[in-house]
Amino acid sequence: MLDLGAAVLAVDHAVADARNLTVTDDRRAIEKEHAEQCCGSGIGSGSGNGSVTLTIAANTGSTQRTAALTIAGQTFYAFVLENMEKFGALKAIGAQKKELIYMLLFQASVVSFLGYGFGILLSSAMIAFAKLRIPNYVAIVNYTSLSVAFLMVLLIAGFSSYLGIRKVLKIEPFDIFRG
């Protein structure tokens, strides 16, 4: 089991390698001394909280994204199912299929953009909070990760709106009014 000092040093080296920088031996010595003062002097000598924290931080990122995307898609689809009567009424008064499709796509895009914005806001707040609580916390947020997150939001919004559109287009107005 790694202690926090060794894990922080490993993360620091990985970040340095990613940026094509070198970490000097002086910096390594300072980090090792700091890690020994804070967390113990070697593997198994500390409380183990550092490794648990880093493991949780690494694993919750992908889990949170998956859960958030699943919840967003399911929520939009539930919205469509709850409003089937209204969509049937719109169809009964003469709304064209194209209009219903545009309406659902507009709703999905507004919800997706708002969700993406709130997600970035909350992620930024959590990173700032983590940096206050953990002195050597490293979070790399770049345009690539933001773009991938945005594409995932668009993907799940497109998929959930596709399912909703299929359901709305199959509905017959007399089925809604019949009860």
- Model pTM greater than 0.75? no
Q: Over the stretch 86-105, which tens digit does the pLDDT of each residue have?
A: 888 898 898 899 999 999 99
What is the rounded distance in angstroms from the CA atom of residue 130 to the CA atom of residue 11?
A: 15
Q: Over the stretch 11-62, which tens digit does the pLDDT of each residue have?
A: 666 666 655 444 455 555 555 555 555 554 444 444 444 444 444 444 455 6
Q: What angle do CA 101, 104, 107 make, to 5 degrees?
A: 150
DSSP code, position 19: T
Residue where the block lists tokens 């953990």: 134
* Most distant CA atoms of the chain, gap in Å: 80
Nearest to 8 by CA among 37, 32, 40, 42: 32
pLDDT for 140 equals: 79
What is the rounded distance in angstroms from the CA atom of residue 58 to the CA atom of residue 61?
A: 6
| CB-CB neighbours of 135 under 10 Å | 9
